Amino acid sequence: MFPKTGNKLHSATGGLDFAQVMAEALNAELGSTHRAVKTAMQWTGASERTVKHWLAATHAPHGVHLVRLARHSERVLAAFLIAANRSDLLVTMELLAVRAKLLEVIDLLGERP
């Protein structure tokens, strides 16, 4: 059996504490109130204790919980992409969001072809 080595991602810029990155993203998205815990629980199906660990950065979400968080939170998705060294995909996400807003404005103006 291998010893637990933590949850640091190693890259050219040094170690990255994934639990801290996810906690910052979740706290920025939801805040740090009890309502934030309840919201994350609803999004993921995780227990209250698990979500509190994520928000405190003592544990990082993984597996299906990470997927469910990314489904609901653009900040979590962005943090994950940055941690995976795929920040180039963030530009695509931003362009799609801008396109959607532009189409919304066009609809409001009644000028859509």
- Residue-wise pLDDT for 44-70, tens only, equals 999 999 999 999 999 999 999 999 999
Minimum mean pLDDT range among 3-17, 18-32, 77-91, 94-108 = 3-17
Tell me the domain boundaries of the chain: 8-86
Predicted local distance difference test score (pLDDT) of residue 13: 40
Label residue 12 by pLDDT band (50, 70, 90): very low
pTM of the model: 0.73
**Section 102-107 average pLDDT:** 91
Dihedral sign of CA atoms 37, 42, 43, 49 in order = positive
SS3 85: coil
Tokens of 67: 């997927």
